[in-house]
Structures are given as C-alpha cells and as structure tokens.
Amino acid sequence: MLNFIIPFMVLILVVVFIHEYGHYYFAKRYGVGVTDFSIGFGKEIFGWNDKSGTRWKICWIPLGGYVKFFGDRNVFSQADQDELLKKYKKEDQEKLFVTKPLYQRAWIVFGGPLANFILAIVIFIFIYMFIGKDFTTAIIGEVQKDSPAEIAGMMNNDVIVEIDSTKVDSILDVSKLIAMSTSEYIDFKVLRYDQEILLKVKPNIVESVDNLGNKINKRMIGIRLSPYNNEIKHVKLGPGQALKHSLNEVYFVASSSLKYLVSMITGSGDTSQLGGPIRIAKISGQVAEFGIIPFISMMAYISISLGLINLFPIPLLDGGHLMFYAFEKILGRPLSQKTQEGFFRIGMFLLLSLMFFATFNDLKDLGLFQ
C-alpha cells in the first residue's frame, strides 16, 4: 500500500503546490493580501506563518489546494465588493482581490494553470536535454493478415510520417497517436518508395493490458513496427530544440485531452478510461517502480491535465472565474452576488457528478464492480 501512497502524495504535493504558487505569485505581484496557502483541504496537519502573515499549511484531504485572499469569505474566493469596502479601511482595501483591475484578477486566476504548464515544459526540457528524445523512424515491419491495416492498404516497409495530421518523429509516437485518436477512422500518411500515400484505417477496439498490467480498451490496427536496420536513434537535444519539442508535447497532450473529453460528451469516446484519485495513486505507484525519470514524466502529464481541467468554464474552477470576468468585461460590471452563487451551485453539482463518475470507474478498475 505504501508503494502507492507515497508516490501519490509526492505527485500531488508537487503538482498542487506549483498550481497554487502560480496564484500566489501573481497575487503578491499585484499587491493582493494572501491569508492562507494550503495543500489539501479540511483540518490542518501542520503549518507556519510567514512574515507577511500568510499561513502555509498542509491539510488532511490531499485532493487539491487553495490560496485564500485577504477579505475572501471562503476558499473559492467569493466576496461581496460593496460589503468589503464598508468593512475595511482605505489602506486595507488596497490588499483586497476584488478591488484590483480586471486584467490583474485574470492573471492571478490564470497563474495557477499557467504554472502547471510551465512545470510540464521544464520537466520535458530536462528530460530531452539530459536523457534524450527518441527519433527512430517508424517503419512497418509486418502487417497482420486481415487486420485493419491490411484492409486499408498498408504494406511492409511503409514509413509512417503522419497520423491524423500530426507529424510522427519517433517509432514511439505511433502507439501514442493511435491511442489518443477519437475518430472512427485514423488518417495515416505513409512513405512508400519515395511516394506519400494517404490511408484511412478503422481500428479494432481490443481489451488489452498496458505496460503496467492495467486492463484497458486499446485501439489496434494490426501492425508491428521495426527500426530501420535495427538502429535506434536517441538524441540529447540542445536548449532550443528541447524547448520546441516540450511546447509541442504540452500542446499535443492538451489538445488530445480536449478531443477525448468532447468524444465522451458526444458518446463516441470510451468513458471507462476516465479515472480519479484512486487510479492516479495506483498508476503513480506502478510508474515509480520503473524509476525517477518515468515518474517525473508522469508528473508532467498530470500537471498538464490539472492545468487544463482548471481552465474549464465551470464555477469553482479557475476557468469559471475567468468566465465571470469575461461577462464583467462585456457587461461593464461584475455579475451580481446572487447570480454568481447560482453558478457556483451548478459548478458544485457538475464537479461532484464528475468525481462520483471517476471514483466509480476507479473502484470498478479495482474489481469492486463487475
């Protein structure tokens, strides 16, 4: 059990701390008072006060965190501006979040997801510069008989150069791009005798087991890849190239995740793959057994996911606050407190529903539901 709990706690501690520090950094930059910086929710385990009066603490429920601003009624940064202006003196009003210009409030809110994306970029840059990145050409060594690939016209020795308009840089990209595809047909561009050929392949959905031993529904097209002349091309990149490929990876993960979520909403995606904290804890423990590099790689992907999810326009999330600010910009005034509270109730319902669904999938994955 500890081999799951400890990696999960480390993962959550780092990713959530970075997210909340993004909010904290911009809040301090714009002169907003911060009363609490918490990792986790509920009762405090331990903490300390810094010189500015901020209480830094770790709490018992490790499912997120929060930065509470001076004058906020709760951890969701709800506050009534008129009420606060009456309550505080002029010198204290300057520390209130709600009195700051719209662009400053937007940057403070966006700072959390931005910090998550930056963390992922830094991790990828480190890996690409000091460990390296694979650039082995993706050559088809075998096309299985009667497979989707054979039906579509793929042949031995075809070089896969694009999948769904995404360039294939490495033999490792192929399985990733096939897995992340959400459409009925996958578009392939292959190179055959110096001629580019476009093929549409309809994958089979097969119940399989991933490298960690977890059951998954896998999209299979029936090919075996092999390096050209059995040569593996693994290159350590310079800073510029490492940054370029890191940005590409963050963009790919974020855009693919959005496509997957849209496919689930429309009913074409596999909802069984949506997991919550239990599955993350299980996988983090499994990945940690492979070493520090796979573990920090997973941390980068979780950080991207956390940043992306928080940008969804759902009240209680950062994206919900940004949505309110968009309304404020259009209307020329903030939404009324009553309207915001109505949206917050809707947001709470949506988040609890999503948490329930993800937890059900987690428990099902553990074999509690058949």
Whether residue 9 contacts residue 62, with contact meaning beta carbons closer than 8 Å, is answered with yes
Write the secondary structure of 254-286 as one string of H (helix), E (strand) and C (coil). Answer: HHHHHHHHHHHHHCCCCHHHCCCHHHHHHHHHH
At 6, the pLDDT band (50, 70, 90 cuts) reads: confident
Q: CA-CA-CA-CA torsion for 92, 97, 336, 64, nearest 10 degrees? A: -130
Cβ neighbors of 307 (< 8 A, separation 6 or more) are 19, 112, 113, 114, 115, 116, 117, 120
- pLDDT at position 295 over 90: yes
E strands, the chain, where? Answer: 34-49, 55-69, 133-134, 139-143, 159-163, 166-167, 186-192, 195-201, 204-209, 215-220, 223-226, 234-235
- Spot the catalytic one: 20, 162, 249, 328: 20
For residue range 254-272, list pLDDT tens digits in order.
988 888 887 777 766 666 6
Residue 367, Cα to own-chain centre: how many angstroms?
26
The SS3 assignment for 51 reads: coil
Answer whether 21's CB lies under 8 Å from 41's CB: no
- Same domain assignment for residues 110 and 166: no
pLDDT at 231: 77
Task: State which of 176, 200, 235 marks the end of a domain.
Answer: 235
Does residue 292 form part of some domain?
no
Average pLDDT for 24-43? 94
pLDDT, average across residues 126-135 = 94
Question: How many domains does the structure of the chain reveal?
Answer: 2
Residue 167 has pLDDT above 70, yes or no: yes
If we measure between CA atoms, which residue out of 105, 244, 103, 62 comes closest to residue 167?
A: 244
pLDDT interval class at 118 (50, 70, 90) = very high
Residue 98 belongs to a domain: yes
- Least confident range from 55-64, 124-133, 298-307, 353-362: namely 353-362
Amino acid at 73: R
Residue 297's pLDDT is what?
Answer: 93
pLDDT at 182: 81
Same domain, 90 and 143: no
Same domain, 40 and 155: no
pLDDT attached to residue 56: 96
* Mean pLDDT within 112-119: 97
DSSP 152-188: HT--TTPEEEEETTEE--SHHHHHHHHHH--SSSEEE
Give the pLDDT mean for 303-321.
91
Asked if 108 and 199 sit in the same domain, the reply is no
Check pLDDT > 90 for residue 21: yes
Average pLDDT, whole number, for the chain? 86
> How confident is the model over 7-22, as a mean pLDDT?
93
Q: Between 320 and 87, whose confidence is greater? A: 320
* Domain assignment of residue 256, yes or no: no
CB count within 10 Å of CB 339 equals 12
- If asked whether residues 50 and 116 sit together in one domain, one would say yes
Domain contains 245: no
Please state, as a whole number, how many other Cβ atoms lie within 10 Å of the Cβ of residue 286.
Answer: 20
Q: Is 69 left (phi over 0), alpha (psi -120 to 50) or beta?
A: beta
pLDDT for 366 beyond 60: no
Residues 82 and 96: their CA atoms lie apart, in Å, by: 12
> CATH no. for residue 179?
2.30.42.10
CA distance 334 to 328: 5
Instruction: Assess whether 83 and 123 both reside in one domain.
Output: yes
Q: Are residues 19 and 126 in the same domain?
A: yes
Q: What is the pLDDT of residue 150?
A: 94
The pLDDT assigned to 202 comes to 94
Give the confidence band of 347 by pLDDT, cuts at 50, 70, 90.
confident
Q: What is the rounded distance in angstroms from the CA atom of residue 169 to the CA atom of residue 129?
A: 17
Residue 20 and residue 124 share a domain: yes
Residue range 280-296: mean pLDDT, rounded: 82
From CA 164, how far away is CA 301, in angstroms rounded? 21
Q: What is the mean pLDDT of residues 58-76?
A: 80
| pLDDT > 70: percent of the chain | 88
Same domain, 92 and 151: no
User: What is the rounded CA–CA span in Å between residue 183 and residue 72?
Assistant: 44
Check residue 205 and give its pLDDT. 86
Q: Is 150 a catalytic residue?
A: no
> Are 203 and 144 contacting, i.e. CB atoms less than 8 angstroms apart?
no
Give the separation between CA 52 and CA 220, rounded to whole angstroms: 56
**pLDDT over 90 (residue 179):** no
Q: Identify the weakest region by mean pLDDT among 125-139, 191-205, 217-231.
A: 217-231
Domain membership of residue 146 as a residue range: 133-235
Rounded to whole angstroms, the Cα distance separating 108 from 97 reads 9
Same domain for 143 and 73 = no
Q: Could you report the per-residue pLDDT of 223-254, keeping only the tens digit for each?
A: 999 887 777 888 999 999 999 999 999 999 89
pLDDT at 7 over 60: yes
In a domain, 242, yes or no: no
Is a pLDDT exceeding 90 seen at residue 180? Answer: no
DSSP 52: T
In a domain, 359, yes or no: yes
pLDDT (average), residues 150-172: 93
How far does Cα 134 stand from its chain's mean position?
23
What is the model's pLDDT at position 55? 95
At 368, the pLDDT band (50, 70, 90 cuts) reads: low
Residue 294 lies in a domain: no
* Domain presence at residue 255: no
Q: Contact, 183 vs 196, CB < 8 A?
A: no
